[in-house]
Amino acid sequence: MDKEEWNKGAGHPMQSFEWGEFREKMGNKVSRIIGEKQYQIIWSKLPLGFWFGYCPMSEMPSEADLKKFEGGIGVRFEPNEMKGTKIPERLVLGRHLFKPKTYWIDLTKSEEDLLKNMTSKCRYNIRLAEKHGVTVEEDSLSLSEYLRLMFGKTSKRQKIYAHSENYHRELVKLDFVHLFKAEYKDKVIASWVIFAWKDFIYYAYGAFDDEYKYLMAPVLGLWEIIKWAKKEGYKTMDLWGAEEGKGFSRFKEQFGPQLVEMAGTYDLPINEPWYMFFRIAEWVRWKALRAFS
Question: Looking at residue 285, what is its pLDDT?
Answer: 79
Q: Please write the tens of the pLDDT for every residue from 84-101.
A: 999 999 999 999 999 999
Question: Looking at residue 163, what is its pLDDT?
Answer: 83
Region 252-268 average pLDDT: 98
Region 121-140 average pLDDT: 98
Region 252-256 average pLDDT: 98
Residues 66 and 130 reside in one and the same domain: no
Residues of the chain with pLDDT > 70, as a percent, come to 95
What DSSP letter does each residue of 173-204 carry, written as one string? Answer: TSTTEEEEEEEETTEEEEEEEEEEETTEEEEE
* pLDDT of 157 higher than 90: no
* pLDDT of 291 higher than 90: no
Residues 120 and 204 reside in one and the same domain: yes
Residues 177 and 140 reside in one and the same domain: yes
Query: What residue numbers bound the domain in which 147 lies?
Result: 101-260
How far is the C-alpha of 36 from the C-alpha of 15, rounded, in Å?
16
CA-angle at 121, arms to 118 and 123, nearest 5°: 55
* pLDDT of 233 higher than 60: yes
Residues 87 and 112 reside in one and the same domain: no
Question: Residue 196 maps to which CATH number?
Answer: 3.40.630.30
